[in-house]
Amino acid sequence: MAADGKFKGRHALVTGAGSGIGAAIVRALSSEGARITLAGRRREPLEKLAHEIGSANSFVADGFDVTDRAAIDAGLAEARKAFGPVDILINNAGEAPSAPFEKTTADLWSQIINVDLNGVFNVTQAVLPDLKAHGEGARIINLASTAGLKGYAYVSAYCAAKHGVIGMTRALALELAKKGITVNAVCPGFTDTPIISRSIAEIVAKTGRSAEEALSEFTRANPQGRLVNPEEVADAVLWLASPGASSITGQSIVVAGGEIMAG
């Protein structure tokens, strides 16, 4: 990975960094010289990725549960010891279990809201003093979803959480606009990640349909007829984090092959 680049000397914290979109974002930032805190709950995938990009510019914050303020504070304290204050925050951690609305239990609803919405609030609030101290050029980038801009059947809690993330993004962007801190959301369509792989396996197990038939449920909304690649999402994040995106704030950048959002 490159030692130099547009993010040389910057400290990025990426939640949910161990796989999928989070790992692609880590690789993209590392290729441009950023020092990165890889935050997540499981140590093994984080260490594997840190070894891949080089230990000199990576710090593993395992046990980083976005629903637990004490765990966030502890991980953040260690990250600051490694690389100093955070000036780029990527809120990527999330989960997307599915269920019909009438079978969505209160516990499942609370779990998804707690991880996908409250988690963004918790981490952002903890990191915000660092970002405000940095001022001009600091970045908050929230991984939302096209489900934050439209509805999808059988994921009502996920849609509600991601709509909340976009609302929070827009509100905080206004609060921080004059401080030079941008706040944006990236909204991928269905992306080729372990979450989709697990969803396909569940459809096959529950319905008896083939994996190809199950996959078609996720690709039909994309006019390009395919899943989005994690690297394509990472490219959008990289641009929003760059100096060239200084006038972009409060926006929801859709990466979905031309899928049109209702407005």
Is 6 part of a structural domain of the chain? no
| In the chain, % of residues over pLDDT 70 | 98
What band does 258 get if pLDDT is binned at 50, 70 and 90?
Answer: very high
Q: Which residues pair with 59 in a beta bridge?
A: 37
Is 43 part of a structural domain of the chain? yes
Query: Residue 250 and residue 81: Cα distance in Å, rounded?
Result: 31
Q: Which structural domain, as residue segments, surrounds residue 30? A: 11-255
What band does 3 get if pLDDT is binned at 50, 70 and 90?
Answer: low
Q: Nearest-CA neighbor of 126 among 57, 67, 43? A: 67
Whole-number average pLDDT of the chain: 94
The single-letter code of the amino acid at 210 is S
Is 91 part of a structural domain of the chain? yes
Q: Looking at the predicted structure, is the pLDDT value of residue 69 above 60?
A: yes
Q: How many residues does the chain have?
A: 263
Query: Residue 254 and residue 232: Cα distance in Å, rounded?
Result: 11
Q: Residue 1's pLDDT is what?
A: 43
Domain count, the chain: 1
- Is 152 catalytic? The answer is no
Q: What angle do CA 70, 71, 76 make, to 5 degrees?
A: 100
Is 202 part of a structural domain of the chain? yes
Q: From the DSSP assignment, how many helices (H) and strands (E) are in the chain?
A: 9, 7
CATH of residue 135's domain is 3.40.50.720
Q: What is the DSSP string of 125-182?
A: HHHHHHHHHH-TT-EEEEE--GGGTS--TT-HHHHHHHHHHHHHHHHHHHHHGGGT-E
Is 228 part of a structural domain of the chain? yes
The answer to whether 139 and 87 have CB atoms below 8 angstroms apart is yes
Tell how far CA 120 is from the center of its chain.
9
Q: What confidence tens digit (pLDDT) does each residue in 100-120 have?
A: 999 999 999 999 999 999 999
Q: Please pick, among 158, 168, 237, 245, the residue that the annotation labels catalytic.
A: 158
What global pTM score does this model have? 0.93
Is 4 part of a structural domain of the chain? no
- CB-based burial label for 204 (10 Å; 0-12, 13-18, 19+): middle
- CB-based burial label for 134 (10 Å; 0-12, 13-18, 19+): buried
The answer to whether 229 and 117 have CB atoms below 8 angstroms apart is no
Is 263 part of a structural domain of the chain? no
Q: What confidence tens digit (pLDDT) does each residue in 133-182 have?
A: 999 999 999 999 999 999 999 999 999 999 999 999 999 999 999 999 99
Is 171 part of a structural domain of the chain? yes
Q: Residue 7's pLDDT is what?
A: 96
